[in-house]
Amino acid sequence: YFMVFGTEFMMPLALSLAVFVCIFEIVVGLALILGIYKKWTLWGLLAMMIFFTFLTFYSAYFNKVTDCGCFGDAIPLTPWQSFTKDVILSVAAIILYVQRKHINPIMSVPAARWILTFSIVLQAFMAYWVLNHLPLIDFRAYKVGTDIVADMSTPEGAPVDEFEITWTYKVDGVEKEFTTEEEPWNIEGAEYVSRDQKLIKEGYHPPIHDFTMTIEDVDYTESLMQENELFLLVMYRIDETPVHPKLHKRVNDLVRSCDEAGVIFLGMSSSGYAAVEDYRHKVQAQYQVAFCDETTLKTIVRSNPGLVYIKNGVIAAKWHFNDLPRDLEAARKAVEN
């Protein structure tokens, strides 16, 4: 949204605001259920719903932000679905405000305040945990247990996208629209003007469709997915990856134990060759770095860097950089446990 509205100078605040908004939404909802701080809760609820209804309408109408992230990957919503949800909630918020005299505490106010305080502390801890480790529940396409090869394949006979194509041809000096069945190209003297394609029915799309491991313009994805064991150190933007000596000593120790056992260890990044080589020199990296799309890498693991352990094409484990295994044996034991 900062990019869409031309306020890139606020980008450094994105993470802090994301954490604040997540906590604020739950606090307002819980306070409403408990029936305390009625005035501030209702005003906060109204302000929040008006703000987000505007954002989701803007996203839907202008097709600017196609993933609102309301429920993350747990419940994916299209922009129009998200806008409809916010309209319904806005109407409910207005009704609550109008009928606010009927909102009363469901328990003693001191007890309700303690519950609200505990909720804020718990949410703050969860935000801290997710940012410094990995999410407790992973709803994405690359969660542990995912068979990457299978999820990249399209089943035989799976439905395909269906499109409605409109052809515009100039006939006798007048532009007219035709369907494909009308075959306007066979009309004598007709001149082609344009072709418009509209998706009317979406077909099957594999859950994983943009995963590649490219080194020097050669795609090694298929061969690497056949390895018995494979480690991937995901660094979606290598210029933002920490260069802490202790972190990379641990990484290099793991790389050495993998080399001794004949297990492939590979870096993954969306950054260019110069940035990758500069980073490898800084951290004395003993591994090659393959190229992959940035969004894909962010989806694979919520950590920069983050470690992914793949066995026979299946994601066996993932680690935040704060929780890296010390060596290959430790990684294997973690999977077994």
Chain mean pLDDT for the chain: 90
pLDDT at 337: 74
* Residue type, position 285, single letter: A
Of residues 156 and 147, more confidently modeled: 147
Lowest-pLDDT range, 62-76, 115-129, 323-337?
62-76
When pLDDT is averaged across residues 202-228 and rounded to a whole number, the result is: 90
* Residue type, position 136, single letter: L
Say what the pTM is: 0.79
pLDDT at 237: 85
Residue 244's pLDDT band (cuts 50, 70, 90):
confident
pLDDT at 270: 92
When pLDDT is averaged across residues 231-243 and rounded to a whole number, the result is: 90
Asked if the model's pLDDT at residue 114 lies above 90, the reply is yes
231 vs 306: CA distance, rounded Å: 10
Contact 37, 31 (CB under 8 A): yes
pLDDT at 106: 92
When pLDDT is averaged across residues 22-46 and rounded to a whole number, the result is: 93
Residue 198's pLDDT band (cuts 50, 70, 90):
confident
Tokens of 145: 């247990």
| Percent of the chain at pLDDT exceeding 70 | 99
Tens of pLDDT along 283-334?
888 899 999 999 899 999 989 999 999 999 999 999 999 999 999 999 999 8
Residue 242's pLDDT band (cuts 50, 70, 90):
confident
pLDDT at 68: 64
40 vs 45: CA distance, rounded Å: 8
| Percent of the chain at pLDDT exceeding 90 | 60
**Tokens 């006979």 — which residue?**
157
Tens of pLDDT along 265-288?
999 999 988 999 999 888 888 899
